[in-house]
């Protein structure tokens, strides 16, 4: 059952963020790590071992870890376009239509995003910035308890819009047909059945089968997140994804049936998922709690939902909507949903979230699949400084400096002065040669 909490209690529990490096690993993860890697080995140490072996041994290490961790070794890591095509042709008609619609809306949304290069020319020459597509990008698509073809669409399509030349997709062995079908829909050429930390290592370092990439995007489980953390610097990252989270701000006008359904939809992802309702209306809080108890009985992932609701979620009673907005800014949720009578009035007060869902008809599940923006969003409070995955994640800025000889000589003098102040005499000498002669 989801608890109803007063503000003081909530700030000490469900609204309190723990730093990423202080996470307590779930007992199941600790036990699995011990069984696979030996007594005393922590999950980060196990991941470091996986990554080191892939860097040194390539495909041989991939096969060994696939056998141990995925309990299967594919004959070939790379899957053909023909396998993707067959999966697409086997899809039910309604699912194929839904995926096609989602792909069209995701592409249209990101094609509207400006990617402006610019140049300024005057009598001193030219200065500017060129936005250049990243050459090779790796996309990780989870393949655990729930197949997520939507995650492939949400990551691959923005990269294509940005002009990425090579897109490498990795997902655990024996991928679900819907993931293969989504890859076919997106015309993916490089698709590999490699999962977990070993997939991140393969894309970061390259192996005989899997090409090395320049940046890795996409969420995954704890092992994937730890691996991404450890390869940062070798490759770029979109961010480190923690457990998913939704925060709903609601007033007495909200439909308790819908609010409960939206909280349950988030909680079914993971026992560590967070589903939080902020409301000043105690009657709504009670009705939502009742609806959750009623609706959960009919859901296939009720056990996962129950764990999430009991440990990471809650209904928080706030003095007013303004306080709720302030709490949302501090928490910086991945998804922030406004189930209030006048959401536009509250919108200017909100600064920190991955996405804002304005009104009860713009609910988060639409963002997960068909609204248009990518559902790969910042978690763990990182929405205070990070953004949802978008086309800008797949380009880099190159500065342009093209000064005339006259401007170069004039600017060399102050450059030499600054270099001398920094005791970098070679810098100063290089500048002085431009005006001493």
Three-class SS of the chain: CCCEECHHHHHHCCCCCCCHHHCCCCHHHHHHHHHHHCCCCCHHHHHHHHHHHHHHHCHHHHHHHHHHHHCCCCCCCEECHHHHHHHHHCCCHHHHHHHHHHHHHHHHHHHCCCCCCEEEEECCEEEEEEEEECCEEEEECCCCCCCCHHHHHHHHHHHHHHCCCEEEEEECCCCCHHHHHHHHHCCCCEEEECCHHHHHHHHHHCCCCCCCCCEEECCCCHHHHHHHHHHECCEEECCCCCCCEEEEEECCCCCHHHHHHHHHHHHCCCCCCEEEEEECCHHHHHHHHHHHHHHHHHCCCHHHHHHHHHHCCEEEECCCHHHHHHHHHHHCCCEEEEECCCHHHHHHHCCCCCEEEECCCCCHHHHHHCCCCCCCCCCCCHHHCCCCCCHHHHEEEEEEEEECHHHHHHHHHHHHHHHHHCCCHHHHHHHHHHHHC
Note the pLDDT tens digit of each residue in 345-360. Answer: 999 999 999 999 999 9
The pair of structure tokens assigned to 241 is: 């994804």
**pLDDT score, position 436:** 67
Neighbours of 145 (CB within 10 A): 11
Looking at the chain, which residues constitute the CATH 3.40.50.1980 domain(s)? Answer: 4-16+243-384, 78-239
Among residues 381, 372, 333, the alpha carbon closest in space to that of 355 is found at: 333
pLDDT mean over 354-377: 97
Highest mean pLDDT among 33-42, 162-171, 307-316: 162-171
78-239 under CATH 3.90.1150.10, yes or no: no
Q: What is the edge-to-edge ordering of all strands in the sheet holding 274-279? A: 4-5, 314-317, 274-279, 245-250, 335-339, 355-358
Q: Map tokens 């928490």 to a residue.
A: 331
pLDDT surpasses 90 at 126: yes
| 216 bridge partner residues | 138, 237
Query: Which residue out of 335, 360, 364, 375 is catalytically annotated?
Result: 335
C-alpha pair distances (Å), 143 with each of 146, 301, 377: 7, 16, 18
**pLDDT score, position 241:** 86
Note the pLDDT tens digit of each residue in 320-354. Answer: 999 999 999 999 999 999 999 999 999 999 999 99
Q: Quick one: pLDDT band at residue 22, thresholds 50, 70, 90?
A: very low
**Beta 125-133 vs 395-403: how paired, if at all?**
antiparallel
Q: What are phi and psi of 253, to 5 degrees?
A: -80, -15
Q: At what angle do helices 81-89 and 177-185 cross, to 10 degrees?
A: 110
The two most distant CA atoms of the chain are separated, in Å, by: 86
Cα separation, 273 vs 271, whole angstroms: 6
**Beta 215-217 vs 395-403: how paired, if at all?**
unpaired
Cα separation, 415 vs 176, whole angstroms: 59
pLDDT mean over 227-245: 94
Among residues 136, 99, 129, the alpha carbon closest in space to that of 115 is found at: 129
Q: Map tokens 């991939």 to a residue.
A: 62
**pLDDT score, position 337:** 98
Cα separation, 209 vs 194, whole angstroms: 10
Q: Quick one: pLDDT band at residue 32, thresholds 50, 70, 90?
A: confident
In the annotation, is 269 catalytic?
Answer: no
**pLDDT score, position 242:** 84
For residues 344-354, one letter each, b for 16 or more C-beta atoms within 10 angstroms of the residue's C-beta and e for the rest, the string is eebeeebebbb
**pLDDT score, position 27:** 81
Query: Which residue out of 334, 360, 364, 375 is catalytically annotated?
Result: 334
pTM: 0.93
Note the pLDDT tens digit of each residue in 104-123. Answer: 999 999 999 999 999 999 99
Report yes or no: 135 and 163 within 8 Å, Cβ to Cβ: no
Q: What are phi and psi of 3, to 5 degrees?
A: -80, 150
In the annotation, is 352 catalytic?
Answer: no
CATH T-level assignment (fold) for domain 4-16+243-384: Rossmann fold (3.40.50)
Cα separation, 272 vs 23, whole angstroms: 11
């Amino acid at each position: 059952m989801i608890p109803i909490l007063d503000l003081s209690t909530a700030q000490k529990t469900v609204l309190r963020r723990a730093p990423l490096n202080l996470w307590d690993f779930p007992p199941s993860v600790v036990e699995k790590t011990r069984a696979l890697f030996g007594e005393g080995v922590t999950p980060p140490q196990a991941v470091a071992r996986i990554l080191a072996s892939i860097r040194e041994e390539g495909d041989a290490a991939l096969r060994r870890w696939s056998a141990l961790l995925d309990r299967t070794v594919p004959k070939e890591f790379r899957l053909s376009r023909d396998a993707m095509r067959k999966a697409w042709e086997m899809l039910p008609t309604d699912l194929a239509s839904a995926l096609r619609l989602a792909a069209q809306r995701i592409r249209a949304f990101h094609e509207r995003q400006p990617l402006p290069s610019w140049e300024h020319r005057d009598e001193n020459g030219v200065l500017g910035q060129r936005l250049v597509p990243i050459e090779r990008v790796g996309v990780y698509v989870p393949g655990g308890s729930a197949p997520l073809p939507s995650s492939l669409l949400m990551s691959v399509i923005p990269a294509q819009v940005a002009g990425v030349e090579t897109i490498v997709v990795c997902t655990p062995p024996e991928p679900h047909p819907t993931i293969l079908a989504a890859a076919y829909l997106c015309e993916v050429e490089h698709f590999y059945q490699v999962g977990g930390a070993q997939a991140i290592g393969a894309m970061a370092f390259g192996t005989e089968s899997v090409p090395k990439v320049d940046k890795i995007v996409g969420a995954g489980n704890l092992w994937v997140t730890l691996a991404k953390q450890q390869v940062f610097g070798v490759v770029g990252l979109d961010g480190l994804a923690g457990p998913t989270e939704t925060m709903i701000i609601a007033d007495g006008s909200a439909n308790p049936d819908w609010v409960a359904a939206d909280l349950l939809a988030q909680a079914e992802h993971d026992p560590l998922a967070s589903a939080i309702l902020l409301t000043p209306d105690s009657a709504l809080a009670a009705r939502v709690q009742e609806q959750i108890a009623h609706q959960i009985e009919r859901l296939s992932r009720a056990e996962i939902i129950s764990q999430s609701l009991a440990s990471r979620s809650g209904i928080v009673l706030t003095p007013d909507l303004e306080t709720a907005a302030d709490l949302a800014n501090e928490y910086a949720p991945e998804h922030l949903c406004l189930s209030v009578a006048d959401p536009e009035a509250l919108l200017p007060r909100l600064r920190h979230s991955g996405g804002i869902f304005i009104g009860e008809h713009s609910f988060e599940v639409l963002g997960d699949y068909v609204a248009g923006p990518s559902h790969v969003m910042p978690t763990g409070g990182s929405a205070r400084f990070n953004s949802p995955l978008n086309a800008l994640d797949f380009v880099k800025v190159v500065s342009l400096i093209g000064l005339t000889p006259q401007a170069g000589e004039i600017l060399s003098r102050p450059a030499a002065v600054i270099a001398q102040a920094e005791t970098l005499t070679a810098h100063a000498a290089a500048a002085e040669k431009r005006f001493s002669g």
